Amino acid sequence: MTKTTGQSRRSGPAVGRPGVIWAIPGVMYFSFFAVLPMLLVAYMSFTEWDGLGNPKFVGLDNWERLFSDSLMGQSLWLAFLLTVLTWAVQTPLSLLIGVWAAGYQRNRAVLSAIYFLPLLLSSVAISLLWRTLIDPNFGLPAQAASWFGIDNVDLIGQSNTALYTLVFVATWQFVPLHSLLYQGGARQIPQSLYDAASIDGAGRIRQFFHITLPQLRNTITTSSILMVVGALTFFDTVLILTQGGPGTDTTITPYLMYRTGFVSYEMGYGSTIAFVLVVMATAASLVLVKMTGFGAMRSTREGM
Amino acid sequence: MTSLATARSAKAAPSPLQDRPSLVARARKRIRTANLPAGAVSLVWLAIIGIPLYALVASTFRRTEDYLDDGPLSVPSNPTFDNYQKVVDKGFDTYFINTAIVTVATVAIVVLLAVPIGYAVVRSANRSTQMVFRFFLLGLAIPAQAVIIPVFLIISKMHMYDSLPAVILPSAAFSLPVSVLILAGTMRDISEELYEAMALEGVSVAKMLWYLTIPLSRSGISTVAIYTAIQAWNGFLFPLILTQSKEERVLTLGLYDFVGEFRVDAPGMLTAVLLSAVPLFVAYLFARRALVQGLMGVGGK
């Protein structure tokens, strides 16, 4: 194991270097539980399986069904809508909160400590908390309704408010993480940039747009990828809050896959839907990486 | 373009900065004046985060009748601990122990596998380990939800369905890519000279890992452990699909099952929600810095 390949031929002692064998156990483990399933999703999309026995090859049946399935079309549209909405709501909010929390003032530290709390709750806990709080009979909307004299306060019983509720709960759940990322990013921006800008007479808003935003380029990419992939696989909250309803109005693609696979036990067709999800998540990440030049890993310190 | 301009002026900045510190101080002071819009947003956000959390905690001390009469926001006028008793009686302790086992085992597997990978990726000179790094970078993009059907197939073919290992093994696998990235990041910062000094004394590769790399990447390892522990503790998808019986149930799944039992008992439901997070709240109280750094580290530098 103590191979000395690639030792430095320069002066200095020959440092023993670990061979690739050190990584083999981990690579095999990950391959078995993650890469193999990904290949199997592709294979299983051409099979029929009810969860017992073995998957049976059925050729293109599932794919033909997929292209004529109106539920699939609707679910993709809803997943797209949810992704765009959660991104558009969360990004500005996380940016503002994160940059604000990056200051070292005492009150900001205290508030940041509270902002962090939702991160400790599981998505199940958060969904159940909100399910209870927005209960049409005994929750917050019922109280607000009695103050303002509104009739229908069943937020998850109506299709448009059900979708907005999901966006809101996702925001409550994930903005703490993303603002934390932005806080970390903002703290790495050199103070000298701000000092220089202040001397040049740039105010707070100009500093934000001309220093903070460009300097946070990599953080914005990381955060956006996490949001988009997260929204594409957003599932727990839908299962607990809306069960895809009312009707099928919040049945986004991952929930449709779950229902097909584990409620109707059509795991072959479920895999076909899952395969579409894998492709979409990968494509979305690649597009974001390309668009922002993240892959090149340009330094944000260029020119300093 | 504008960023270029600011960058250029930053380059020119150091000399005046040294000459006239008062100028910097004055400029900084101008920015220090109260930032009203940001302050307002921060208070609104505090309410959005704080009010539900208040309702969560306060409701656990309310009687169901009181809750149904007064709504989620009222102050518990005659507090009770009945809800806690009720939740524990429903088998919460079993779920708790199961979750603890899953969490500890998952963290152990991840640390055991990710540390040598990080070591090889950072220290190895040969090309194949660079491919290992890229492999995990791509692995990051595999969403667990999308491959859950084949994972179910694999677990049932291994005759592990409805057992704790069925939850532990895939949970650990899906924490690996992030963990490898974090560890490689930390381990890269260890200087070459330290390795050379050890090599002078004829230390083997394994001992270098043990006596040099691991002690110097403790922060990265704790980040990985914390991140993995939170993921495992709060994980829902794998338990939902891969377990069934009450004996193998973890907290998140137990909560989900309470939906039926506590249909009209909001305080009971919220007590279960709160109890499920108690260990993480306690950890947060005592190791806030490590937890925050842990999650911040996931976003990368």
Helix (H, G, I), strand (E, B) or coil at A14: coil
> How far apart, in whole angstroms, are the C-alpha atoms of residue A64 and residue A269?
10
Question: CB–CB of A17 and B252 under 8 A?
Answer: no
Decide if A196 and B139 are in contact by the 8 Å CB cutoff. no
| Superfamily designation of domain B92-298 | MetI-like (1.10.3720.10)
Q: Is the pLDDT of residue A200 over 90?
A: no
pLDDT value at A9 more than 80: no
Query: pLDDT (tens digit, 9 = 90+) per residue, B149-176?
Result: 999 999 999 999 999 999 999 999 999 9
- pLDDT for B32: 54
Point out which residues pair with A57 in neighbouring strands: A47
* Partners of A56 in the β-ladder: A48
A140 and B72 within 8 Å at the Cβ level: the answer is yes
Query: Is the pLDDT at A7 greater than 50, yes or no?
Result: no
Residue B280 at interface with chain A, using a CB cutoff of 8 Å: yes
Q: Which helix (H) or strand (E) holds A6?
A: none
Side-chain half-sphere exposure of B216, counting CA atoms within 13 A: 18
Cβ-defined contact of A222 to B125 (cutoff 8 Å): no
pLDDT of A240: 92
Give the model's pLDDT for residue B17: 46
| Residue B90 exposed, middle or buried by CB count within 10 Å (0-12, 13-18, 19+) | middle
pLDDT at A239: 93
pLDDT of residue B28: 55
Q: pLDDT per residue over A99-116, tens digit each?
A: 888 888 888 888 888 998
Averaged pLDDT of chain A: 85
B6 and A17 within 8 Å at the Cβ level: the answer is no
CB of A49 within 8 A of CB of A37? no
- Look at A134 and A5; give whichever has higher pLDDT: A134
Please give the distance of CA B154 from its chain centroid, rounded to a whole number. 27
Terminal Cα distance for chain B, rounded: 24
Q: Which domains are delineated in chain A?
A: 81-250 (1.10.3720.10)
- Can you give the pTM of this predicted structure? 0.85
Q: Tell me how long chain B is.
A: 301
pLDDT higher than threshold 50 for residue A10 = no
Beta-carbon neighbour count of residue B246 at 10 Å? 12
pLDDT in tens, A132-166: 998 887 788 777 777 776 666 778 888 888 999 99
**Mean pLDDT over the full length of chain B:** 83
Confidence band, pLDDT 50/70/90 cuts, at residue B236: very high
Scanning the structure block, which residue is given the tokens 């993709």?
A76
> Looking at the predicted structure, is the pLDDT value of residue B197 above 50?
yes
B224 within 8 A of B237, measured Cβ to Cβ: no
Verify whether the Cβ–Cβ distance A207 to B31 is below 8 Å.
Answer: yes
Residue ranges covered by each domain of chain B:
39-80, 92-298
pLDDT at B1: 34
Sign of CA dihedral A234, A235, A241, A246: positive
Question: Best mutation site among B147, B156, B160 for testing chain A: the one with the most A CBs within 10 Å?
Answer: B147
For A213, name the nearest residue in chain B, comparing CA atoms only.
Answer: B3
Distance CA A240, CA B256 (A): 8
- Contacts with B34 (C-beta within 8 Å, 6 or more apart), sequence order: none
pLDDT band at B10 (very low <50, low <70, confident <90, very high): very low
Q: Chain B partners of A22 at a C-beta cutoff of 8 Å? A: 116-117, 119-120, 124
Classify the phi-psi angles of A234: left when phi > 0, otherwise alpha if psi is within -120 to 50, otherwise beta. Answer: beta
- Across the interface, whether the CB atoms of B173 and A34 are under 8 A apart is answered yes
Each residue of A219-250: pLDDT tens digit?
A: 888 888 888 888 877 888 999 999 887 888 99
- Give the residue carrying structure tokens 């103590």: A2
A93 to chain B: which residues are within 8 Å by CB?
A: 45
- Catalogue the E-assigned strands of chain A: 47-48, 56-57
Q: Which residues of A touch B149 (CB under 8 A)?
A: 41, 44, 257, 261, 267, 270-271, 274
- Residue B8 predicted with pLDDT over 70: no
- Residues B234, A204: C-beta atoms closer than 8 Å: no
B276, HSE (Cβ side, Cα atoms, 13 Å)? 35
> Which of B145, B183, B192 should we substitute to test contact with A (largest number of A Cβ atoms within 10 Å)?
B145
Q: Averaged over B17-37, what is the pLDDT?
A: 57
